Chain A
Amino acid sequence: MYKKLYIKILLTFLLVFFSGTSITHENISHNIDIASGDKCVEPTDIMRAQHHIFLNKQSHDTVVDGIRTKKYSLNNCINCHIQPSADGTYPSVKSEEHFCSGCHIKAAAQVECFDCHASKPFNNEKIEEEISKK
């Protein structure tokens, strides 16, 4: 009987502890490109708490099994959430203007995805320009 009580207390503690991180940065604006979709793939509170779980699962499915669904793919996030500023350039992942870094810098949770993954949408014309410059 006591065992059940302990589990309940532990679960409550964990719930409070982990929900805390999402409460702290509720006021950060979550800019979404209206043109590509008016809402995210999941409600905001679920995305705030579980986006890393979705991304981890997707990365395994893609690399190991070759599943390339768009819904939870990192490229899909980037294409929608990273928008160019007024001068047409994309924000650097090191600045707080970047959608991911906006929260991750404030929460001091270092994100390593962009050591390897592209941090801005794929733009064919820009890459062609860069290649022609070389």
Chain B
Amino acid sequence: MKKYEIKLDRRNFLKNSVSVGLVTIAPGVFLQEIAHGRSLDEPASDKIRWGMLIDTNQCTEDCDACVTACNEEHGIEDFGRPTTDTQWIRKLNLTNEFTGKKYSLPMMCQHCENPPCVDVCPTGASFKRADGIVLVNKHTCIGCRYCMMSCPYKARSFVHENLENQLPHAPRGKGCVESCNLCVHKIDNGENNTACAEACVKDGHQAILFGDLNDPKSEISKQLSEFGAKEIRSDLGLNTAVRYRGI
């Protein structure tokens, strides 16, 4: 028994504390390296979970900079048919009937941890990528629109029109379902921000914050742990990656 006794003198204490310190620092450093420097030939990592924090107090009713930026980024055209036109992100203006308080917020794919759209997809086209982004593989999508019906956030759109002049980084076509992809092409190229978040900052608001939810050192994680945020329809247990503050 005496063999395993640890002598807690000054020298041993220092030795142990240094080694514990190294172990705890190492994972943090490693995570940050992945988040900010994934090379083009590396697959997306499940150590990361991309998400967004939306501060509804910063979002104003008359501003739709995020919607315009999203449409421009992905070449989404307006055909003047509001019931069937594609939308990846939309603005909601709500009023609490009891208090009369008005809210304005952007609504898009919430990138659930347990996405119902993936559960119902008959071909496996709707899937969740390793880093938590919920996507449609348009090569296998047959346009059945089950995912649109299953989504509690009405986040998905079906492309009803023949499209031309698509952008090289955003292939889109008639007969497929699509939704917010968290600007996956920007993430893969290491920009690690979305068009809507950039536009929001540019327009003088700071309502949308994009970042890695798994990295405790990221700005989004710090804000989430300090101020907290709500999940819309948290009763469904979907664990969304898009969280709202001020609602």
Chain A residues close to B by CB (< 8 Å): 59-61, 63-70, 75, 78, 115-118, 121-122, 127, 130-131
**What CA separation (Å) do A109 and B172 show in the bound complex?**
22
Chain A residues within an 8 Å CB radius of B171 = 116-118
B205 CB to closest chain A CB (Å) equals 23
A92 CB to closest chain B CB (Å) equals 10
Q: Are B40 and A69 in touch, CB under 8 angstroms?
A: yes
> B100 on the interface (CB 8 Å rule)?
no
Say whether, besides A59-B139, A116-B138, A116-B176, A66 and B187 are in contact (CB < 8 Å).
yes
A43 CB to closest chain B CB (Å) equals 22
Contact of B189 among A59, A68, A127 (CB under 8 A): A68
Chain A residues within an 8 Å CB radius of B137 = 63-64
How many residue pairs between the two chains, A and B, have CB atoms under 8 Å in the bound complex? Answer: 61
Dominant secondary structure of chain B at its interface with chain A: loop
Chain A residues within an 8 Å CB radius of B130 = 65-66
Nearest CB to that of B131 among chain A residues? A66
Dominant secondary structure of chain A at its interface with chain B: helix
Chain A residues within an 8 Å CB radius of B44 = 65-66
Q: Are A66 and B129 in touch, CB under 8 angstroms?
A: yes
Chain B residues within an 8 Å CB radius of A121 = 168
14 A–B contacts from the bound complex (CB under 8 Å): A63-B138, A64-B137, A65-B129, A66-B43, A66-B129, A67-B188, A68-B185, A69-B40, A78-B168, A115-B174, A118-B165, A118-B167, A118-B168, A130-B165
Q: Are A64 and B127 in touch, CB under 8 angstroms?
A: yes
Nearest CB to that of B42 among chain A residues? A67
Chain A residues within an 8 Å CB radius of B5 = none
Chain A residues within an 8 Å CB radius of B223 = none
> B166 on the interface (CB 8 Å rule)?
yes
Chain B residues within an 8 Å CB radius of A61 = 43
**What CA separation (Å) do A59 and B43 show in the bound complex?**
13
**What CA separation (Å) do A59 and B137 show in the bound complex?**
9
**What CA separation (Å) do A63 and B189 show in the bound complex?**
14
Chain B residues within an 8 Å CB radius of A65 = 43-44, 129-130
**What CA separation (Å) do A63 and B137 show in the bound complex?**
6
Say whether, besides A66-B131, A66-B187, A118 and B43 are in contact (CB < 8 Å).
no
Say whether, besides A66-B129, A75-B168, A115 and B187 are in contact (CB < 8 Å).
no
B72 CB to closest chain A CB (Å) equals 8
**What CA separation (Å) do A117 and B44 show in the bound complex?**
22
B236 CB to closest chain A CB (Å) equals 26
Q: Are B168 and A122 in touch, CB under 8 angstroms?
A: yes
1/0 per residue, CB under 8 A from A, across B85-108: the answer is 000000000000000000000000
Q: Which 7 A-B pairs have the closest CB atoms?
A: A116-B173, A65-B43, A66-B44, A116-B171, A118-B168, A115-B173, A117-B171
Q: Are A67 and B41 in touch, CB under 8 angstroms?
A: yes
Nearest CB to that of A75 among chain B residues? B168
Q: Are A64 and B40 in touch, CB under 8 angstroms?
A: no
> B184 on the interface (CB 8 Å rule)?
yes
Q: Are A67 and B43 in touch, CB under 8 angstroms?
A: yes
> B135 on the interface (CB 8 Å rule)?
yes
A35 CB to closest chain B CB (Å) equals 19
**What CA separation (Å) do A68 and B43 show in the bound complex?**
9
